[in-house]
Amino acid sequence: MLGEEREVLRPPPPFTTDSLLREASRLLRLNATQTMALAQDLFELGFITYHRTDSTRVSDAGIGVAKTYITEKFGAECFKPRTWMKEGAHECIRPTRPMDQDKLRELIREGVLRPVKALTAWHYRLYDLIFRRFMASQMPEAEVVKQRFAVEIPELGLRKEMEHYVEAARKGFLEMWTMPMGSRLQPCKVKVKKEPRPIIRKVPTVTLFTDGELVQLMKERGIGRPSTYAKIIDVLKKRLYVQESRRGKLVPMPRGIRIYQHLKEHYEDFVSEERTRKLEALMDAVERGEVDYQEVLRELYEEIKRLP
């Protein structure tokens, strides 16, 4: 073991469309289409704010919802309000009332709330995810103990340093949310009593993505918008360009590979990521009134006419 140290973790921001799709895929194993359908129901029933957004902004009303719940549940010292983004017309995805999943179930069961559409177990699970993420975003930082250790395989000349969290010295937002993605609290510290026998196996060289991971990639590369992420993936599946494996990974199919190769060979300038980013930037400029949409369409039409 290399040692221990304390680390302060900041809470994550409330959900935007892409982060909701990613976490629903990771934690609930829901694909993008399922997540957006459930979120649409919750929005129409008035339980969450609009679910197609790329903003993390929290309104005064949202801060009020968080304050009511957190102070009653954990005490005033656990409430740390944050707006996250200062400006913007849109807001994050959040609950509209200070009621957690259990309270929501209770009010519906008692007839106090009578939604026009019956909620399924998946509605409650997604609501719970949105609720906990939002409340965590309005709570203090957490302090955790991190243990660092090294794993060596002398026969192969390999050495890798690793770390994991062993305990929370101050829970903070961890009262409502999980550890950062890819990590979790390990109640037991590493104690090596004997040399472990290494297991060597081959791993795939091609990276396959889940719905959530693909949405994250599109977000990072500037492809798509909150309203189109799920639609893009749904079309890929329906047209059999990709197929979802049992583990939720999107596997390219022969049809998708052939179409991709054809488009890349003959129309690469029109289907590249760079062209997609450029068009999205032009649409944003049109929306802001900085560019005439007719001029944009005219230029695109002239380009298309020059195709062989």
| Alpha-carbon separation of residue 136 from 78, 94, 130, 142 (angstroms) | 10, 11, 10, 10
Q: Which residue has the higher pLDDT, 259 or 307?
A: 259
Q: Helices 17-28 and 121-137 sit at what angle, rounded to 10 degrees?
A: 120
- CATH class of the region 211-305: mainly alpha
| CB hemisphere CA count around 186 (13 angstroms) | 13
Question: Mean pLDDT lowest for which of 12-26, 91-105, 189-203?
Answer: 189-203
Which H or E run includes 73? helix 60-73
Q: 17 and 229 in contact (C-beta within 8 Å)?
A: yes
Catalytic sites, residue numbers: 50
Task: Give CATH 1.10.290.10 domain extents, the chain.
Answer: 7-137
When the pLDDT of each residue in the chain is averaged and rounded to a whole number, the result is 88
Cβ atoms within 10 A of the Cβ of 271, count? 12
State residue 39's pLDDT score. 97
- Report the range out of 62-66, 178-182, 211-215 with the highest average pLDDT: 62-66
Cβ atoms within 10 A of the Cβ of 296, count? 15
Q: What is the mean pLDDT of residues 160-167?
A: 78
Q: Where does the pLDDT of residue 196 fall: very low under 50, low under 70, confident under 90, or very high at 90 and above? A: low
- The phi, psi pair for 224, rounded to 5°, reads 85, 170
pTM of the model: 0.82
In this structure, the strands spanning 250-252 and 242-244 are antiparallel
For residue 308, pLDDT beyond 90: no
For residue 190, pLDDT beyond 60: no
CA dihedral 283, 285, 288, 289 (to 10 degrees): -100
Tokens of 239: 């047209």
Give the separation between CA 171 and CA 144, rounded to whole angstroms. Answer: 8
Q: Which residue has the higher pLDDT, 145 or 91?
A: 91
Give the separation between CA 256 and CA 236, rounded to whole angstroms. Answer: 8
Q: What is the mean pLDDT of residues 74-81?
A: 95
Q: What is the DSSP string of 98-159?
A: S--HHHHHHHHHTTSS--SS---HHHHHHHHHHHHHHHHHTS--EEEEEEEEEEEEGGGTEE
What are 85-94's pLDDT values in tens digits?
876 668 999 9
Fold of 7-137: Topoisomerase I; domain 4 (1.10.290)
- The phi, psi pair for 149, rounded to 5°, reads -150, 165
Q: 28 and 133 in contact (C-beta within 8 Å)?
A: no
The label of the residue with tokens 């560019």 reads 291
Q: Which residues fall within 8 angstroms of residue 94, CB to CB, at 6 or more apart?
A: 14, 15, 48, 49, 58, 62, 65, 130, 134
Look at residues 191, 174, 175, 170 and name the one whose alpha carbon lies nearest to residue 183: 174
Task: Give CATH 1.10.460.10 domain extents, the chain.
Answer: 211-305
Cβ atoms within 10 A of the Cβ of 165, count? 19
What are 60-74's pLDDT values in tens digits?
999 999 999 999 999
